[in-house]
A = this chain, B = another copy of it.
Amino acid sequence: MTPAAAAPSAIRRVRPPGHEGLADLLIENGRIAALLPAGTAPPELPTLADGEGRLMLLPALVESHIHFDKTLWGAPWRPNSSGPTRNHRIANEQAVLKDFPLSLAERAGPLIEHCVARGSLHFRSHVDVQPAFGIARIEEMLALRQRYAHLVDMQLVAFPQAGLITAPGTADLMEHALALGLEVVGGIDPSGIDHNPVRHLEAVFDLAVRFGRGIDIHLHDGGELGRFEIERIADMTEAHGLAGRVVISHAYALGAFAPAELYPLADRLARAGISIMSCAPSHFMAPPLAMLRSRGVNVCSGSDNVRDTWSPMGNGDMLDRARLIAMRFGWSKDEQLADAFDIVTHGGAKALGLGERYGIAPGCDADLLLLPAESIAHAVVSCPLERTVIRRGRVVARDGVLIADAALA
């Protein structure tokens, strides 16, 4: 559902990155019609926003990995009650959410609105597909997406959190979820959770091929085990012609090897058209994002768990995530800080297949973020909350707060 086209309008006196001086933007039918020198947009057009030379014009942020269905965002503070292993966390989540007083929409709805107010308009959310939650969770998430379709673009991943092989009934539920409209086939730790890497990956790719979908696999399996799995994912991606449609999320294993050892694997990922999603965690080994990018691998990022039973952290702010990425790798040069920003914008757009309509150029959707900064580098380190968010040519949030009408269709 695309919102009805807004009347033509102009954004005045803003600084697009890589653009000499100030610019005006013409917006027509929810898209960027033209980038003009500042002061040359027709004065009779309504002014959508005026940067007064002080605001940068940026593309909306891309949240490439979040779990909206898990969040407790709308609920009172709840101390983390999970045991230490992934299986503890899976069982703990099942126990906590079983009788939780707030519905998925009451928890995730406010978080979606918060994310929008921070500047993200494109999302990929994983949705648990496990018999413990049944089809209800999937239907609730689809309904929530529908409710916010005017405000955000959201891809949903059918995510077999508890295992695709080991949790009985999951394979059938995955098919059901994909049939209902979840776009992407998820996977998780083929060895660590499902204890059978080849069978797990074959099942994931089989679903992707049968339903004509992309793939996004959670891969926490580390070291040589993770590397083995990444190589098999590359094999299968090439065998099935899925270049550009496969994301490996987390991929901690890529942080375990010296650069020289990783080059061949990075080159393989680049050739296979596989994107790497990393939150750049500071308490784990993170994939070396600069090296991966330098070898041609597309990299995107996400908030992952946001205040849920898995983690109290996460804030849904992808500009803060760019700052965390830069800190994680000690990036301090303007070009490096711009790389961090590229990961949370164009890198995400590529991983999610947003295509030519994403960006700041004539023809692109007018999905934009305006904020006070002197450069992209400055935006990343300062993370100002004074943000104006524009969706298809309408202002939907100002100063970190959603405009009341925007929450409604």
| Most chain B CB neighbours (cut-off 10 Å) among A77, A324, A328, A329 | A77
Complex: A378 Cα to B307 Cα, angstroms: 10
In the complex the two chains form, is A328's CB within 8 Å of B381's CB?
Answer: no
- Interface pair B375/A77, CB less than 8 Å apart: yes
Residues of B within 8 A of A283 (CB): 327-330
Report the stretch among A13-21, A210-218, A248-256, A308-316 that lies at the interface.
A308-316
**Smallest CB gap from A314: residue in B:** B381
Residue of B nearest to A381 (CB): B312
| Chain B residues, Cβ within 8 Å of A330 | 281, 283-284
* A31 → B minimal CB distance (Å): 31
Main secondary structure of the interface of A (DSSP, over half): loop
Stretch at the interface among A132-140, A264-272, A331-339: A331-339
Q: In the bound complex, do residue B382 and residue A315 qualify as a contact, i.e. CB atoms below 8 Å apart?
A: yes
Residue A282 at the chain B interface, CB threshold 8 Å: yes
B312 with A374: CB separation less than 8 A: no
Docked Cα-Cα span, A311 to B328, in Å, equals 13
Q: 28 pairs across A/B with beta carbons < 8 Å?
A: A76-B374, A77-B374, A77-B375, A77-B378, A79-B333, A79-B375, A79-B377, A80-B332, A80-B333, A80-B334, A281-B327, A281-B330, A282-B282, A282-B324, A282-B327, A282-B328, A283-B328, A283-B329, A312-B332, A312-B337, A312-B377, A312-B381, A313-B326, A313-B327, A313-B332, A315-B381, A315-B382, A324-B327
A interface residues (Cβ-Cβ under 8 A, vs B): 76-77, 79-80, 82, 281-284, 307, 311-313, 315, 323-324, 326-330, 332-334, 337, 373-375, 377-378, 381-382, 385
Closest 8 A/B residue pairs (Cβ):
A282-B282, A283-B330, A77-B374, A79-B334, A77-B378, A80-B332, A282-B328, A312-B381
